[in-house]
Amino acid sequence: MANPDGSSTVLGAGPNLAALGRGIAVIGHDDTGIETFRSTFDSPADADDEGYALAVSATGHLAVAGWTRVLGQGHDALVLLFDAAGNLVWVATNDGLLHGSDHATGAAFDGTEVIVSGSTFDGTHTSAWIARFAP
């Protein structure tokens, strides 16, 4: 993703720290392509985590929307906020009412707030949702 200041940010996945599943990686580069930071997220359960969407705020904060696997709950929607230096600021998860498959698939900023879209599958139906996260 190209950022307003000419830098770029890449969202990816790879083996997590315990090598039991996939983790999320966010890598920043300056306008010449030199890596400026590398941040990873590995859920506490060392299960699979996946990022679907990346958004950059006017101040350089990064939001990642995706999912994390939680034992007994399936996939929970996951939102990560990183500061401009790639440090993790906060983590939010959402488990649907029936513990189905919940995914955050889109992210955008509205000022300092993160707007996230996603879906929930309850075993029969898929429902779309939109949520707002304040810092």
CATH number at residue 118: 2.120.10.10
Domain that holds residue 113: 8-133
The answer to the question of residue 116 being in a domain is yes
The answer to the question of residue 1 being in a domain is no
- pLDDT 10s digits, 82-114: 999 999 999 998 887 777 789 999 999 999 899
The answer to the question of residue 2 being in a domain is no
Phi, psi of 116, deg, nearest 5 = -130, 140
The answer to the question of residue 37 being in a domain is yes
Q: What pLDDT shows up at residue 17?
A: 53
- pLDDT 10s digits, 13-65: 766 555 556 789 999 999 999 999 999 898 876 678 899 999 999 999 999 99
Q: What total number of domains does the chain contain?
A: 1
Threshold 0.85, pTM exceeds: yes
Per-residue burial over 112-129, b = 16 or more CB atoms within 10 Å of its CB, e = otherwise: eebbbbbbbbeeeeeeee
- pLDDT 10s digits, 63-85: 999 999 887 778 899 999 999 99
The answer to the question of residue 24 being in a domain is yes
